[in-house]
């Protein structure tokens, strides 16, 4: 199902032109308009899902296989030195377009460390709390 007024539905289904580097029956892979690095691309399912919570398992499985294959192809074509897969869900997590997508981000020696975070510390108290909570679901 497509969603009216969703820009990624319109791009994924070819209603709005995009720089497409791969397409099949289920997905379109396009270059990001605001790239974090040279070659930054987005995997868009042609069907609309707001986020990972809504995504069906068949599309989830296919999306990750596609990410794996795109990482190999893009690394060969672009000569990058590493690769990040990023996938944001919810405003607090940095999602700005509410149509599920995966970021394919080539990394190059010496590029900006734009995905870095300061590691915290896993205390025994928090560890036990999480282990208990995860048993309830």
Question: What residues make contact with ligand 5GP under the rule CB under 6 A?
Answer: 7, 18, 30, 32-34, 42, 88, 94-97
Let me know if 101 is a catalytic residue: yes
Q: Which one, 30 or 80, has the nearer CB to Zn ion?
A: 30
Find residue 106's DSSP bridge partners.
Answer: 83
Distance CA 49, CA 119 (A): 32
* 34 contact, one of ligand 5GP, Zn ion, none, CB 5-8 Å limit per kind: ligand 5GP
Q: Are 47 and 80 in contact (CB under 8 A)?
A: no
Q: For the beta carbon of residue 83, count every other beta carbon within 10 angstroms.
A: 18
Which of the residues 36 through 75 are near Zn ion (CB under 5 A)? 48
* 95 contact, one of ligand 5GP, Zn ion, none, CB 5-8 Å limit per kind: ligand 5GP
Distance CA 32, CA 53 (A): 23
Q: Which one, 15 or 24, has the nearer CB to ligand 5GP?
A: 15
Q: Which one, 71 or 105, has the nearer CB to ligand 5GP?
A: 105
Q: Which long-range contacts (CB under 8 A, 24 or more apart) does 19-26 make?
A: 21/70, 21/74, 22/66, 22/70, 22/73, 24/66, 26/59, 26/62
Distance CA 123, CA 137 (A): 22
Catalytic residue among 40, 99, 101, 103: 101
* 70 contact, one of ligand 5GP, Zn ion, none, CB 5-8 Å limit per kind: none
Name the residues annotated as catalytic.
Answer: 101
User: Which residue ranges make up the site for Zn ion (CB under 5 A)?
Assistant: 3, 6, 8-9, 48, 99
């Amino acid at each position: 199902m497509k969603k009216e007024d969703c820009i990624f539905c319109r791009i994924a289904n070819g209603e709005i032109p995009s720089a497409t580097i791969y397409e099949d029956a289920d997905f379109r892979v396009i270059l990001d308009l605001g790239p974090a690095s040279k070659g930054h691309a987005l995997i868009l399912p042609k069907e609309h899902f707001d986020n990972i919570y809504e995504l069906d398992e068949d599309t989830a499985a296919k999306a990750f296989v596609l990410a794996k294959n795109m990482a190999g192809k893009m690394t060969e074509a672009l000569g990058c030195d590493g690769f990040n897969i990023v996938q944001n869900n919810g405003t607090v997590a940095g999602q700005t377009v509410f149509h599920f997508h995966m970021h394919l981000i080539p990394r190059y020696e010496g590029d900006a460390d734009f995905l870095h975070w300061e590691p915290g510390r896993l205390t025994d108290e928090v560890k036990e709390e999480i282990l208990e909570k995860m048993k309830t679901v």
